[in-house]
A and B are shown apart, each in its own frame.
Chain A
Amino acid sequence: MKREPPRTLADYGPLLFPAAMLTVFFVVPSGTMIAVSFFQRQQGGFYTPAFVWSNYERFLSVFFGNVLGFSLMLAIAVAICCVVLALPFTYLLARMSRRAQVLWLVGLLSVLSLSEVIIGFAWSTLFSRTAGITNLLVAIGLMDSPKALYPGFSAVLTGMVYQAFPYTVLVLFPALVRLDPTLTEAARTLGSSPLRAFFNVVIPALRNTIVATLIMVFIFALGSYLLPQILGRPQHWTLSVLITDQAIYQSNMPFAAAMAVFLVLVTLALVTLTLFLGRKGEAA
């Protein structure tokens, strides 16, 4: 069925509300942020309108370059871990009975009701030496003495994957439910073992969904600023942590804004690159 393209102004009517929301809550704040990133900072927490590049210049250092690199690497690692874990899980979930599906999804959604702070402190307790999971391993004889698993990179990664996992499942679920189950059955009749069919039929058939999910989790992870502070050492702090630090504790709004704008640009560039490569792969 083909739909008529909108012609008159009235046809665009239903778009008014979302357009207004987008303007008020996205275009205006982003515009303000971009503007502030060029302002001149005043000592004592204020800034005056100006057009200077100094905020961006300050950012171009090895230190911030490393932080940016680490932030991107962490977000990519979180995205890959989430998709690798969530894909087989959701594939099985989509084939369960309705009841089981509801129970699992409700359980996963309840994770979303936890705030980042609670997730962070819960994991820091679980990873601690005195009350952590290593005590359980000692009790069943797998370890000699309990040890602290945090702060550290693995702790940050675990916490962030835990937080992003429900989102990943929710994004993958509809695509996997719609996936024609006879595709894998056909692959099996043609000589593929079920595991092999998963890798050379299910995953390629879901390529676009997987790429979209990777991008979503990547962007979600880039914005995380509490978990790296709670579960990591200072070298595990992401750009988002530094932005928060500059904006709230150092009262340097223009510099924080400049970093945020830069992060948005880098993210956009990476997403565009991913989509471009995906398009190219499709044509081949």
Chain B
Amino acid sequence: MSGLVLKDISKRFGDFTAVDHVDLSVPHGTFVCMLGPSGCGKTTLLRMIAGLDEPSEGAILLDDEDITPIPTHKRNLGMVFQSLALFPHLNVGENIAYPLRIRGVAKEEQKRRVDELLQMIHLPGYGDRPVAKLSGGQRQRVAIARALALSPKLFLLDEPLSALDAKLREAMQVELRQLQQSLGITTIVVTHDQREAMTMADTVVVMNGGEIRQAASPVEIYRNPADTFVADFIGSTNLLELSADSARRATFRGKPVAGLTLPAGLAKASVSIRPEDVHLTASGGDAIDGTITFIRDLGGTIETFIDISGQNVVAVSTPRARPDVTVGQKVGVVLPAEACVVLKQ
């Protein structure tokens, strides 16, 4: 198939296994975010795709060609580093033209391409400026332009936005996604920021302990997390221990969760339910009884903390749908069956 394929990739540093038998295929033109806590192997995986680290096992295929033995400088890829790695002795234009110069592109063609790229990153006329005189966001754009100068097959970014402040970061996420869509280039971004991954990616790859825990679309990852790690890492969630009664109906602290059955053979299961899916009603009836312990009003959303016989459950709602409750009040908690995800152990 065309695109990037990772076949059974492992990387060991001495006794430590950084990447553990990873398989992944990235179709041409997709935007992939590799997401995970620090030390989960995502950066090592990206460096192996770039050829900066060699896999201990496995093969990397690009458009059906095995690129594992090909050195970095012959792989035709663009990479943006966390430090950006702009060359301090070159100005903006020279930085962007560097890959063209290395490949021996004619001077006029270099100039034309640099102007085109400066236009693309919304910095026309910045070619003669020294890199040190740019703001963080501008440097970011220059690094992106330099990586894209040769129209590479693969665009790799290692925590590219982590040095920017929150507002600028969100703006750059949108910009980066739009740029990728207009160029149609296969892009892989490493990040530990799940909002960033949700904003930009076609496919989110959640990693932990050197393994891929789940690779799916952002909505799928959010709605149907594969296991407790993914459920907990992506967004906030309520992780509840449910038991099955004789008719496989799920119960929580002895109270049945209406309409939810556990798969056959499971006496107990972890279930994830997002805070926005937890509803509050008057106590009694099918609802599970709980006591409100804390209310956090954030303006845009309201978080209500409920204690259900020792287990803390969080419910989130908008101010319009605000339940009229106070701390200490007894309420009924409704866990809609369709919002509950039974997780793999």
Name A residues whose Cβ lies closer than 8 Å to a Cβ of B: 180, 182-183, 185-194, 196, 200-201, 204-205, 207
Q: Which residues of B contact A185 (CB under 8 A)?
A: 52, 72, 79, 81, 85
Instruction: State the CA gap A189–B99 with chains docked (Å).
Output: 9
- Bitwise, B124-166 to A at CB < 8 A (1) or not (0) is 0000000000000000000000110110000010000000000
Please give me the 9 A-B residue pairs with the lowest Cβ-Cβ distance, nearest first.
A186-B85, A190-B99, A189-B79, A204-B89, A182-B85, A188-B72, A182-B81, A191-B102, A188-B73
Instruction: State the CA gap A7–B275 with chains docked (Å).
Output: 60
Q: Which among B51, B78, B99 has the highest number of chain A CB atoms within 10 Å?
A: B99
**Contact of B83 with A180 in the complex, beta carbons under 8 Å:** yes
Q: Which residues of B contact A204 (CB under 8 A)?
A: 87, 89-90
Contact flag A188-B102 (CB < 8 Å), given A180-B83, A182-B81, A193-B73 = no
**Contact of A190 with B98 in the complex, beta carbons under 8 Å:** yes
Interface size on B, residues (CB 8 A): 28
In the complex, whether B300 has a CB less than 8 A from a CB of chain A is no
Instruction: State the CA gap A193–B85 with chains docked (Å).
Output: 17
Instruction: State the CA gap A22–B92 with chains docked (Å).
Output: 44
| CB of B4, distance to nearest CB on chain A (Å) | 15
**Contact of A205 with B72 in the complex, beta carbons under 8 Å:** no
In the complex, whether B310 has a CB less than 8 A from a CB of chain A is no
Q: Which residues of A contact B52 (CB under 8 A)?
A: 185, 188-189
Interface of A, secondary structure class, is helix
Least CB separation from A206: chain B residue: B89
B residues 44-101 near A (Cβ < 8 Å) are 50-52, 71-75, 77-79, 81-83, 85, 87-90, 98-99
Q: Which residues of B contact A194 (CB under 8 A)?
A: 73
Instruction: State the CA gap A207–B88 with chains docked (Å).
Output: 11
Q: Which residues of A contact B167 (CB under 8 A)?
A: none
**Contact of A189 with B73 in the complex, beta carbons under 8 Å:** yes
Instruction: State the CA gap A183–B150 with chains docked (Å).
Output: 18
**Contact of A191 with B73 in the complex, beta carbons under 8 Å:** yes
Instruction: State the CA gap A187–B143 with chains docked (Å).
Output: 12
**Contact of A189 with B50 in the complex, beta carbons under 8 Å:** yes
Instruction: State the CA gap A193–B51 with chains docked (Å).
Output: 12
Contact residue among A182, A192, A205, A207 (Cβ-Cβ distance under 8 Å from B102): A192
**Contact of B103 with A191 in the complex, beta carbons under 8 Å:** yes
Q: Which residues of B contact A183 (CB under 8 A)?
A: 85, 87
| CB of A208, distance to nearest CB on chain B (Å) | 10
Instruction: State the CA gap A207–B87 with chains docked (Å).
Output: 13
Least CB separation from A282: chain B residue: B89
Q: Which among A182, A190, A191, A196 has the highest number of chain B CB atoms within 10 Å?
A: A190
Q: Which residues of B contact A182 (CB under 8 A)?
A: 81-83, 85
27 A-B pairs with CB atoms under 8 Å apart are A180-B83, A182-B83, A182-B85, A185-B52, A185-B79, A186-B79, A186-B81, A186-B85, A186-B87, A188-B51, A188-B52, A188-B71, A189-B77, A189-B78, A190-B78, A190-B102, A190-B147, A191-B99, A191-B103, A192-B102, A193-B71, A193-B73, A194-B73, A196-B102, A201-B87, A204-B90, A205-B87
| CB of A42, distance to nearest CB on chain B (Å) | 57
| CB of A137, distance to nearest CB on chain B (Å) | 38
Instruction: State the CA gap A184–B89 with chains docked (Å).
Output: 13
| CB of B66, distance to nearest CB on chain A (Å) | 19
| CB of B342, distance to nearest CB on chain A (Å) | 43
Q: Which residues of B contact A191 (CB under 8 A)?
A: 73-74, 99, 102-103, 150
Q: Which residues of B contact A190 (CB under 8 A)?
A: 73, 78, 98-99, 102, 146-147, 149-150
- Bitwise, B198-223 to A at CB < 8 A (1) or not (0) is 00000000000000000000000000
| CB of B49, distance to nearest CB on chain A (Å) | 11
Q: Which residues of A contact B150 (CB under 8 A)?
A: 190-191
Known: A182-B82, A192-B102, A200-B102. 14 other contacts (CB 8 A): A186-B85, A189-B72, A189-B73, A189-B147, A190-B98, A190-B102, A190-B149, A191-B73, A191-B99, A193-B71, A204-B90, A205-B87, A205-B88, A207-B89
- Bitwise, B93-130 to A at CB < 8 A (1) or not (0) is 00000110011000000000000000000000000000
Instruction: State the CA gap A186–B90 with chains docked (Å).
Output: 14
Q: Which residues of B contact A186 (CB under 8 A)?
A: 79, 81, 85, 87
Least CB separation from A204: chain B residue: B89
Least CB separation from B75: chain A residue: A189
Contact residue among B72, B85, B90 (Cβ-Cβ distance under 8 Å from A180): B85
Instruction: State the CA gap A272–B146 with chains docked (Å).
Output: 37
Contact residue among B51, B74, B75, B89 (Cβ-Cβ distance under 8 Å from A205): B89
| CB of B45, distance to nearest CB on chain A (Å) | 15
B residues 224-249 near A (Cβ < 8 Å) are none
Instruction: State the CA gap A131–B144 with chains docked (Å).
Output: 62
Instruction: State the CA gap A190–B79 with chains docked (Å).
Output: 8
Least CB separation from B156: chain A residue: A189
Least CB separation from A193: chain B residue: B73
**Contact of A187 with B98 in the complex, beta carbons under 8 Å:** yes
